[in-house]
A and B are shown apart, each in its own frame.
Chain A
Amino acid sequence: MKQSLFLVLMAFSRSLFSQDDLLKELEQSEKPKVEYTSSTFKGSRLVNGQTVEAKGKGELEFIFSHRFGAINSGSYNLFGLDQAYVRLGLEYGITDHLGVGFGRNSVDKTMDGYLRYRFLRQSSGARNMPVTVTAFVNGAIKTSPEELPVGQIYSDRLSYTGQLLIARKFSPGLSLQLMPTIIHRNAVDKTKEDNDLIALGVGGRLKVTRSIALTSEYYYRMNLKDGNQFRNSLGVGIDIETGGHVFQLVLTNAQGITERAFIGETTGDFFAGDIHLGFNVTRSFQLKKAK
């Protein structure tokens, strides 16, 4: 009698625990999905160079980059604040993975146009992909000096950059990136360097609060000739993010803001104090609805 009663009670007591059980059952019934990593970096620029981030579809980003003169240029030059080089640029997301951009840097009055294509995204869950990879290609033309020097032709002003940006978001606070790069310059001083420059960049960002991150970037040039007068570029920065803007405050030995300039033609020695204070400000606008 007792046993039967017990069984009957058991049958109806199932309903007491059913809410949490039902929730567990619900979650288990879900098919495994691919979880894509998002926001590996806060914006499209790390310090001087690019990140793997692509704009959303229909998103237009206005980017304003500014570099002052060197801090060790003395108080008469207001520690570099008197001098300034600027790049104004726009980048537009054609799709969520393909972006196009162009800009103009006052260093050598260089105009550049580029495409970025993110073809692999870091993911976990149903499919594991350890890194996000974006291809970046850029063409740049130096429009200064206005008059072509003797012995030069117009196409000497051109250069082309190709980069493979490989990044991994290790945790919500830490992302690291590798940037194998090749830059072809149509005209160089052949006694000091080759037309093709191969470099490997490394960089990363460390989130300190929800809106502030520390960044760093270093480009190591690999195929140098003896007598090359330029230096590898090094930069460190702080990213501050507000509603629609990302504000990046940087310290770098590079004054140029086009790939050809900061990777291949940096003259400053970071550890001798040839440090330029600068900032990148980006502002995003949604031109076409994301959905």
Chain B
Amino acid sequence: MKIIAIFLFVLSWSWCAAQKMTAEKTFVSFFSKASIEDIKAENTKSISIFNSETMDIVFSIPIKEFEFDKALMKEHFNEKYLESEKFPKATFAGKVSGFSKETSGEQAATAKGKMTIHGVSREIEVPGVITMEGGRLTVRAVFKIKLADYEVKIPQLLWKNIAEEVEVKIDFVYKAP
């Protein structure tokens, strides 16, 4: 009995490891619409792991890698609003529900967990679409983030330039280990 138990124990480790999928292509963008200026930025340097057995999913997004059309916008974003020297990454750690790796094609799923931006953590729930196709898994989601929720302060003077809520889009492609 003990031998079987030890065997299962050791097996569970490798069994877990075999299901960890690493993102090989990542895309995160955000968009803020305000009356004077639209602000948008894209980031292709994020990293993520999805464990299709435990349904755990984690993201780490380096703030300094967001690319803007205007150099000055990138500078203000990093220096003044997100303070990326103090908080270099935005992270999400959560669990996916509504996804089954046996089914192929598109599946509507939800990720629920802790989002940390600008040093502030919040529990959020994000709906998305997971597609399983030939050993590759694609995770796509569109959701809104309220800047005040993460203590990102917009000075009064610029309220016409920066929206209170920004729309975030993510597109991650994972490969089987």
Q: Give A residues with C-beta under 8 Å from B.
A: 1, 3-5, 7-8, 10-12, 14-15, 18-20, 22-23, 25-27, 29-30, 35, 38-39, 55-59, 93, 96, 172, 210-211, 242-244, 284, 286, 289-291
Specify which chain B residues have a CB less than 8 angstroms from the CB of A56 in the assembled complex. 70-72, 74-75
Cα–Cα, bound, A131→B13 (Å): 47
Residues of A within 8 A of B75 (CB): 38-39, 56
Chain B residue with the shortest CB-CB distance to A288 = B69
Most chain A Cβ neighbours within 10 Å, of B70, B85, B161: B70
> Considering the chains assembled together, what is the distance between the CA atoms of A8 and B8 in angstroms?
7
Pair A286/B71 contact, Cβ less than 8 Å: yes
Complex Cα spacing A286 to B5, Å: 66
On whether A4 and B4 interact (CB within 8 A), knowing A38-B75, A59-B72, the answer reads yes
Residues on the B chain within 8 Å of A58, using CB? 71
Chain A residue with the shortest CB-CB distance to B4: A4
Contact residues in B for A96 (Cβ distance below 8 Å): 71
The answer to whether B69 touches A26, judged by C-beta atoms less than 8 angstroms apart, is no
- Could you tell me if B51 and A8 are in contact, using CB atoms closer than 8 angstroms? no
Residue interface mask B80-99, A partner, CB < 8 A = 1 = 10010110110101110000
Taking the nearest CB of chain A, how far is it from the CB of B102, in angstroms?
Answer: 19
Of the stretches B54-62, B130-138, B141-149, B163-171, the one at the interface is B54-62
Q: How far is the CA of A39 from the CA of B64 in the complex (A)?
A: 12
* Closest A residue by C-beta to B2: A4
B91 & A23 in contact (Cβ 8 Å cutoff) = yes
Interface members, chain B 1-27 (any A CB < 8 Å): 1-2, 4-6, 8-9, 11-13, 16, 20, 22
Q: Which residues of A contact B51 (CB under 8 A)?
A: 18, 22
Contact status of A244 and B72, CB under 8 A, knowing A22-B49, A211-B155 = yes
- Cβ contact of A19, chosen from B12, B93, B161, cutoff 8 A: B93
Min distance, Cβ A13 to any Cβ of chain B, angstroms:
10
- Residues of B33-61 at the interface with A, using a CB-CB cut-off of 8 Å, are 47-49, 51, 54, 56, 58, 60
Whether the Cβ atoms of A19 and B94 lie closer than 8 Å is yes
Are B56 and A291 neighbours in the complex by a CB distance under 8 Å? no
How many angstroms between the C-alpha atoms of A27 and B90 in the bound complex?
A: 12
Cβ of B113 under 8 Å from chain A: yes
Residues of A within 8 A of B72 (CB): 56, 59, 244, 284, 286
| Residues of B contacting A57 in the complex (Cβ-Cβ under 8 angstroms) | 71
CB atoms of B5 and A4 under 8 A apart: yes
| Nearest B residue (CB) for A96 | B71
